[in-house]
Structure 1
Amino acid sequence: MTHPIRSHLHQLIDSADNILLLQGPVGSFFRHFSAWLHNRHGKTVHKFNFNAGDEYFYPERTANTLAYTAGLDEFAEFLGSYLSRHHIQAVACFGDTRPYHRIARQVCESQGVDFWAFEEGYFRPFFVTLEKTGVNAYSPLPREAGFFLEQYPKLAEQTYHAPPTVPGGFTPMAKNAALYYLKNRSGRKKYPNYVHHRSASLCHYLHLWTLSAFKRFNYRLEDFTLGKQVEAGVFGKFFIVPLQVFNDSQVRIHCDFDSVRSFLLHVLASFAEHAPADTHLIVKHHPMDRGFIDYAEDIKRFIKRHPQLSGRVTYVHDVPLPVFLAHGIGMVTINSTSGLSAMIHGMPVKVLGRAHYDIPGMTDQSDLAGFWRNPTPPDKELFHAYRMYHINTTQINGSFYSRVNFPEIESRPSEKQV
């Protein structure tokens, strides 16, 4: 009898009794996760806090919680010693490209300790991701169609069902982030050597979030009109280019472009030279980037130098992505999870960075010039197998910033203990 493939969360529960948590997403998710591990599954959970924001959401008075106040250069040696001394069998974090987590991954590999990474959901909304070894382009899963087609019959759930809804959106994340950065700033004396993976200034974010809200209001009528025009077919045959957050690790680590701007200019240049004259390009700004950066002038300057694109390139902000997915003929992306959303709609996708879903048979494997002329849609059977594999294994219903619905898992002695 073939047993169904276990989820990655199930594998974590089965394989470790002593678990160390590093940094989590802003908010209380790791505190709730720790309580679930301990109360429901009898795990001994350890936690490192790296700044006062971490400590606010995961108080130091919690059992086995430690404030790491030394420097980044000392972290590898400290972590290695801690893993050995406390018989840690698994380390979990959120975001595998943060400075401390990149070191932790290497230390775990050298000591034979499992390294687990949480990330936002591959399939959104209402999912979060957990993978062993790494997420996104660091995912260890094969980039081979055969793997997912072979695994599909072994999945417990083979038919897609919409997940239970959970509260989400920008507001709960922003509230958590504001508290996190406020506490981080007020507690800097305790953590003088902390290195953050991006700006840690609350004033910086409050200013830009306010600007973002103003811009959203300002763009509302224009975006509403553009959305209706797309639905009415005004743009004819068009490609959609969803831009990613300018400082996202997906851009910094998992592609060869210097920036989102350089990616955009590359796409525009290719479109100008190779795309059929009757096609349109719609560039969609990332909603989380609205107050931080704008590419309107870059696009205007490019069109001025390439007048053949006049009237063929449109820059939009808050038109919902599904509007474009329902009517477009293809997507070009660095490695955004929007590519997965596009494939759900059967839309051809061209990836220009490194993505866990860039698999022959799912994404277009021709060069960008060829993609404009002949975009190839994903194989439906393969994509369904891929989607269901992840929903059965790496995806957990919930949102880091409101509630994660941990599944019922029957505990058993860890495999490393047997």
Structure 2
Amino acid sequence: MTAAPTGGSAPDVRSVLLLQGLMGPLFRRLGQELTAAGHRVHKVNFNGGDRLYWRLPGGIDYRSTLAEWPAFFRALLTDLAITDVVLFGDCRDHHLPAVKICREAGVPVHVFDEGYIRPDWVTLELGGVNGHSSLPRDPDWYRRTAAALPPVPPHQQVPASFRRRATEGLLYNVADVLTRWRYPHWSNHRPWHPVVEGIGWYRKLRLRRQRETQSAALLQRLLAGTAPYYLFPLQLESDAQIRLHSPFAGMAPAIRLVVESFARHAPAGTRLVVKEHPLDNGVRNWAQETADAAALFGVGDRVDYLATGDIVPIAQGARGMVTVNSTSGTFGLASGVPVLVLGHAVYDVPDLTNQAGIDAFWQDPVPPDPATFAAFRRVLIERCLIPGGFFSDEALDKVVRHAVARLEGHPLLPE
């Protein structure tokens, strides 16, 4: 979070407006840290989940329509003398017009997101993330820029709890559903009602042991090296990466395209592993979608579905990775595994990813250039990554400390 408003030097005291955050206490913790540092902090709550996790002074309930939001937001910028806007994800319905208005007004927008490189890093980028990022796609630029930067300070791992993430999401959704009367015009950016998602999660939890047992057996076979395989990690159906930054309307057409291309062009004896996203809500049966596509194109005996498990070892052992634009592609790049991107991704850079198209990829997957990836990683850390995570107190402490430093224009802090 660097940069002052356009046309002036950074003021000692910022007036920061937080919009929608992650489902959890991230923005409350950030608000506390900013306030302790002497800055003025305000937060817009769009639903009961936002309100539940804020619980600090400066909260503003927005209860009107999406059509009325731009005028309301413009007034907030003026009335509160806002110097910086902070939000999580720049493609949500209320965030898209807010980013546009801030750009016109010269107010910096600092966008949190899941880390471009994981684990133990999160994204905090000025102006936009993913398909809206200002990062170039020129490998020479990364090599030149990285050469002028000092080494990255020592980086420590942080704990993360999936149970905590699930609990925080559940509490957020319950608060949202129970307070719809107070926010009559609120519409979630996700395509399913929270109740529908809850049913999907219940089905997944009920079958958890069976899914884990089957996945462990498959993972053992794959890592034993009996047959070379390609990896295709699925993404969330609701993710803006799919909806706005890819040529696909959802994951189903992406699965069909990848399976068909694999069937027509992959070498005999190779396999395709489709990996479920760990946060998929279970509303869609992606295992069945995958099996149906494999049967349709005559490769039912060569396509595997991996429901659970750590993606890192399976990525490291792959002959190549195909992804729409998942950040898991960086796991492959970091391990020297060839990666092909079907959508728009910040790491889809010549010398890093394959550029010849999916049909050619199966026959001739080209590994990334290690020096270019090292330069790319160094520039990411300098411009749009901060250490930490979202799902433990230690990880949050690190994130908010580094986020405030970025806002105040300081370099990466020692850990």
What is the TM-score with the length of structure 2 in the denominator? 0.90
Counterpart of 2:206?
Answer: 214
Aligned partner (choices 232, 242, 246) of residue 255 of structure 1? 246
Following TM superposition, by how much is the alpha carbon of 1:310 offset from its aligned partner in structure 2, in angstroms?
Answer: 4.3
Counterpart of 1:291?
Answer: 282
- Greater Cα offset, 341-350 or 394-403: 394-403
- Greater Cα offset, 10-19 or 180-189: 10-19
Check if 1:28 corresponds to 2:22.
no
Counterpart of 1:381?
Answer: 371
Counterpart of 1:232?
Answer: 224
| Secondary structure class of the residue paired with 2:362 | helix
The whole-number CA distance in structure 2 between the counterparts of 1:413 and 1:164 is 22
Check if 1:39 corresponds to 2:45.
no
Aligned partner (choices 280, 293, 315) of residue 325 of structure 1? 315
Counterpart of 2:51?
Answer: 55
Cα distance change, pair 375–108 in 1 and its aligned pair in 2 (3 A): same
Following TM superposition, by how much is the alpha carbon of 1:342 offset from its aligned partner in structure 2, in angstroms?
Answer: 0.6
The answer to whether the 8 A contact 2:3-2:409 is kept is no
Counterpart of 2:185?
Answer: 193
Following TM superposition, by how much is the alpha carbon of 1:11 offset from its aligned partner in structure 2, in angstroms?
Answer: 4.1
Counterpart of 1:81?
Answer: 75
Aligned partner (choices 234, 240, 245) of residue 243 of structure 1? 234
The answer to whether the 8 A contact 2:63-2:183 is kept is yes
The whole-number CA distance in structure 2 between the counterparts of 1:126 and 1:183 is 29
CA shift digits 1:340-369 (9 cap, x unpaired): 011011000000011111011110001111
| Secondary structure class of the residue paired with 1:287 | coil
| Alignment-mate amino acid for residue 238 of structure 2 | N
| Secondary structure class of the residue paired with 2:247 | coil
The answer to whether the 8 A contact 2:259-2:297 is kept is no
Equivalent residue runs for 1:112-191 within 5 Å: 112-158=106-152, 161=154, 163-191=155-183
Aligned partner (choices 61, 77, 102) of residue 96 of structure 2? 102
The answer to whether the 8 A contact 1:226-1:319 is kept is no
| Alignment-mate amino acid for residue 376 of structure 2 | Y
The whole-number CA distance in structure 1 between the counterparts of 2:125 and 2:187 is 25
Where does the alignment leave 5 or more consecutive residues of structure 1 unmatched? 1-8
The whole-number CA distance in structure 2 between the counterparts of 1:64 and 1:299 is 48
The answer to whether the 8 A contact 1:145-1:359 is kept is yes
Following TM superposition, by how much is the alpha carbon of 1:320 offset from its aligned partner in structure 2, in angstroms?
Answer: 2.0
| Alignment-mate amino acid for residue 303 of structure 2 | V
Name the % identity: 33
| Secondary structure class of the residue paired with 1:99 | coil
The answer to whether the 8 A contact 1:152-1:158 is kept is no
| Secondary structure class of the residue paired with 2:273 | strand
| Alignment-mate amino acid for residue 186 of structure 1 | L
| Secondary structure class of the residue paired with 1:84 | helix
Count of residues paired in the alignment = 399
Counterpart of 1:312?
Answer: 302
CA shift digits 1:105-136 (9 cap, x unpaired): 11111211111210011111222110111111
Counterpart of 1:223?
Answer: 215
The whole-number CA distance in structure 2 between the counterparts of 1:292 and 1:260 is 13
The whole-number CA distance in structure 2 between the counterparts of 1:109 and 1:370 is 40
| Alignment-mate amino acid for residue 228 of structure 2 | K
| Secondary structure class of the residue paired with 2:353 | coil
Following TM superposition, by how much is the alpha carbon of 1:311 offset from its aligned partner in structure 2, in angstroms?
Answer: 2.4
Following TM superposition, by how much is the alpha carbon of 1:200 offset from its aligned partner in structure 2, in angstroms?
Answer: 7.0
| Secondary structure class of the residue paired with 1:46 | strand
Counterpart of 1:72?
Answer: 66
The whole-number CA distance in structure 1 between the counterparts of 2:138 and 2:23 is 34
Where does the alignment leave 5 or more consecutive residues of structure 2 unmatched? 411-415
| Secondary structure class of the residue paired with 2:304 | strand
CA shift digits 1:130-160 (9 cap, x unpaired): 011111111111111122111113323347x
Cα distance change, pair 184–359 in 1 and its aligned pair in 2 (3 A): same
Following TM superposition, by how much is the alpha carbon of 1:22 offset from its aligned partner in structure 2, in angstroms?
Answer: 0.4
Counterpart of 2:349?
Answer: 359
What is the TM-score with the length of structure 1 in the denominator? 0.89
| Alignment-mate amino acid for residue 47 of structure 2 | N
The whole-number CA distance in structure 2 between the counterparts of 1:136 and 1:278 is 35
| Secondary structure class of the residue paired with 2:140 | helix
Counterpart of 2:413?
Answer: none
| Secondary structure class of the residue paired with 2:124 | strand
Following TM superposition, by how much is the alpha carbon of 1:389 offset from its aligned partner in structure 2, in angstroms?
Answer: 1.7
| Secondary structure class of the residue paired with 1:257 | coil
The answer to whether the 8 A contact 1:138-1:356 is kept is no
The answer to whether the 8 A contact 2:2-2:408 is kept is no
CA shift digits 1:277-335 (9 cap, x unpaired): 1322111121222622223333333343433x242211111132122222211000000
Counterpart of 1:344?
Answer: 334
Check if 1:90 corresponds to 2:84.
yes
| Alignment-mate amino acid for residue 28 of structure 2 | R
| Secondary structure class of the residue paired with 2:60 | strand
Counterpart of 2:382?
Answer: 392
The whole-number CA distance in structure 1 between the counterparts of 2:67 and 2:350 is 41
